[in-house]
């Protein structure tokens, strides 16, 4: 139960972009994507709906910002890692785990095919560097980059989906799926690096 913030008229709400983002992630975690509307967000912040537009240009921009913010949690290896193919593998595994930690966002990553903020670009640069050290450069590298991203998000979507027989006492399913994803990654990276 979230009580709306009360202010005397004329008093500033003192919102920041970070506060709006945080509240949006809270709504997402508590009520899911469908309930994340500018109006419920404003209500939670004790503010008029249109006030949000002083801090965020649009709802789409807000969601893009959330998607990128989540990617900050991805554990990226340094681009100078000893085995670049293993580095790529590790990076995608970490991304997969982060995506699974935010199931509501996975369809949004799918729809946008990734994120587009500074965290996304940082990860992309690391991936390109690792690919380059595997001998994959230029347009091939950009293609490989996106294939790896789509593969990872696609698998996360698969793992996030409601299973046919929902059973909480089968943690093996998620673990098996993770192994399956890891195996698929191995094939894909081998193929990309011309194994």
Binding residues vs a copy of itself (CB under 8 A): 107, 110-111, 113, 142-143, 146-147, 150-151, 153-155, 157-158, 161, 164, 176-177, 180, 183-184, 187-188, 190-191
Do residues 13 and 51 touch, judged by C-beta distance below 8 A? Answer: yes
What's the min distance (Å) between Cβ of 2 and DNA? 14
Which position has the token pair 């404003």? Answer: 42
Q: Which of 38, 81, 105, 188 binds DNA (CB under 7 A)?
A: 38
Q: CA 53 to CA 181: how far, in whole Å?
A: 40
Q: Which of 53, 121, 158, 187 binds DNA (CB under 7 A)?
A: 53
Contact status: 171 vs DNA (CB under 7 A): no
Contact status: 4 vs DNA (CB under 7 A): no
DSSP 30-91: HH-GGG--HHHHHHHTTS-GGGGGGT-S-HHHHHHHHHHHHGGG--PPPTT-S-HHHHHHHH
Interface ranges with DNA (CB under 7 A): 7, 10, 12-15, 35-40, 42, 46-51, 53-55, 58-60
């Amino acid at each position: 139960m979230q009580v709306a913030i009360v202010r005397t008229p004329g008093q500033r709400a003192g919102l920041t972009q970070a506060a709006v983002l945080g509240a949006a992630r809270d709504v997402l975690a508590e009520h899911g994507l469908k309930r994340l509307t500018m109006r419920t967000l404003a209500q939670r912040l004790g503010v008029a709906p249109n006030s949000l537009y002083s801090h965020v240009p649009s709802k789409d921009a807000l969601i893009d910002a959330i998607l990128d913010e989540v990617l900050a949690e991805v554990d990226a290896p340094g681009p100078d890692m000893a085995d670049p193919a293993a580095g790529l593998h590790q990076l995608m595994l970490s991304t997969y785990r982060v995506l699974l930690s935010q199931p509501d966002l996975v369809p949004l990553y799918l729809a946008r095919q990734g994120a587009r903020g500074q965290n996304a670009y940082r990860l992309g640069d690391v991936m390109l560097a690792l690919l380059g050290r595997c001998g994959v450069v230029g347009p091939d590298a950009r293609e490989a980059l996106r294939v790896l991203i789509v593969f990872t998000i696609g698998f996360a979507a698969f793992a996030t989906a409601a299973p046919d027989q929902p059973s909480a006492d089968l943690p093996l399913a998620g673990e098996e799926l993770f192994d399956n994803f890891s195996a698929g990654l191995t094939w894909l990276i081998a193929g990309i690096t011309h194994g």
